[in-house]
Amino acid sequence: MSTPAHGLTRHLVLDRVPMLGVTFGLHKRGSGDPTHRSLGGIYLRTTRTPTGTALLKVVAQGNEVSARAWGDGAEQVLDHLPRLLGEHDDLDGFVPHHPVVAEAHRRYGGYRVGRTDAVFEALAPACLEQVVTGKEAFRAFRLLVREFGEPAPGPTHETGSAAFGMFVAPTPEAWARVPSWRFLAAGVEQRRSRTLVRTAQRATAIERTLLGTNAAADAALQSFPGLGPWTSAEVRQRAHGDADAWSVGDYHVGKNITWALTGEVLDDDAANELLEPYRGHRFRVQQLLALMGARRPRHGPRMTLPTHTPYATRGRS
């Protein structure tokens, strides 16, 4: 049964000031992402729930959060809002030993690792982001969602147009049916499209990774062909709320972490060693350092974009 035209509302009072920009920004794939929008202090997100699609609109004033949702999944997405905002997150065992981490935690103590509990929703764009630059992946995601997704429910849905110009990402079944030539037209070569299609066909099993521990979810995700440590971490950060799932294998993250903590740009092995005292909270540290603006200086030219497919791989999976 559809929600009323004005949607359903929910009001939360938290014991902290939520960082909505960070929470929603983690899920937003570039400025043109049709599944996420930010308008000043208003954050919009589309998603699928077991009861249907939903559009969520969230705004905060201090520690008070107001939300409105539209679509058949509106009630479920509002019930899930505390988890999305990180109310399940547990800081137990997190001790910011390093002075930079301690300062970041002091400044951004309201940050919590949220979770969507929507595994394939996080996995599909992560597959597109393997081995290429963010700009390429965001373009592909935008094009494919607009073509194979569906208009967001909401105020203008009755006219057949997408509310706020937004779309809901394709179902796993729809991703599995995308023709190879449409992937290629969006700049997605066979390596990535094959991984996305194969995992879409196993979407039910992928969702079951929510039922066990984070370690079990990591092992299960990496058991699928084409899914490595980086992809698993990107999924668990978002869907499972795994505060330990740091972006190992990312072209930039390990270098930024080592520079922030040592003043030197080092590799992922060094980053793992530096993060070991924070085991259980390594993704939390990654995020806190990013909030501090801890990014290594760029002395060389930026990575150039390829102009054809298939693309050469750069080791991230």
For 124-177, the three-class secondary structure string (H helix, E strand, C coil) is HHHHHHCCCCHHHHHHHHHHHHHHHCEECCCCCHHHCCCHHHCEECCCHHHHHC
Q: Please tell me the total number of residues recorded for the chain in this structure.
A: 317
> Is residue 74 in a domain?
yes
Closest CA to 288 of 107, 20, 92: 107
| Domain coverage including residue 77 | 8-90
> Is residue 287 in a domain?
no
User: What per-residue confidence (pLDDT) applies to 292?
Assistant: 93
5 exposure class (CB count in 10 Å sphere: 0-12, 13-18, 19+): exposed
Closest CA to 64 of 25, 115, 15, 24: 15
Q: Above 90 in pLDDT, residue 3?
A: no
Count the domains in the chain.
Answer: 2
User: What per-residue confidence (pLDDT) applies to 104?
Assistant: 96
Distance CA 209, CA 217 (A): 5
> Is residue 54 in a domain?
yes
Q: Which residues, in sequence order, are CB contacts of 15 under 8 Å at separation 6+?
A: 63
> Is residue 291 in a domain?
no
> Is residue 279 in a domain?
no
User: What per-residue confidence (pLDDT) applies to 205?
Assistant: 97
Q: Above 70 in pLDDT, residue 293?
A: yes
Where among 44, 71, 90 does a domain terminate?
Answer: 90
Q: 43 has which bridge partners?
A: 38, 58
Q: Above 60 in pLDDT, residue 306?
A: no
Confidence band for 314, pLDDT divided at 50, 70 and 90: very low
Where among 90, 111, 144 does a domain terminate?
Answer: 90
Where among 223, 239, 255 does a domain terminate?
Answer: 239
Q: Tell me the per-residue pLDDT of 176-230, one tens digit each, with 9 for 90 and over.
A: 999 999 999 999 999 999 999 999 999 999 999 999 999 999 999 999 999 999 9
CATH of the domain at 233: 1.10.340.30
Distance CA 82, CA 308 (A): 43
Rounded to an integer, the average pLDDT of 14-33 is 96
Distance CA 146, CA 165 (A): 10
> Is residue 114 in a domain?
no
Per the CB < 8 A criterion, the answer to whether 151 and 157 are in contact is yes
Q: Above 90 in pLDDT, residue 118?
A: yes
Lowest mean pLDDT across 83-92, 109-118, 149-158: 149-158
User: What per-residue confidence (pLDDT) applies to 155?
Assistant: 84
Rounded to an integer, the average pLDDT of 281-291 is 97
Confidence band for 304, pLDDT divided at 50, 70 and 90: very low
Distance CA 136, CA 123 (A): 17
More confident residue, 103 or 300: 103
**Between 119-129 and 134-148, two packed helices, what is the crossing angle to 10 degrees?**
130
Check whether residue 141 and residue 207 sit in a common domain. yes
272 exposure class (CB count in 10 Å sphere: 0-12, 13-18, 19+): middle
Check whether residue 150 and residue 197 sit in a common domain. yes
Per the CB < 8 A criterion, the answer to whether 200 and 171 are in contact is no
Closest CA to 190 of 139, 259, 130, 264: 130
Confidence band for 305, pLDDT divided at 50, 70 and 90: very low
Distance CA 286, CA 289 (A): 5
> Is residue 212 in a domain?
yes
Query: Could you tell me the two tokens for 264?
Result: 């030197």
Check whether residue 148 and residue 71 sit in a common domain. no
> Is residue 19 in a domain?
yes
Check whether residue 126 and residue 163 sit in a common domain. yes
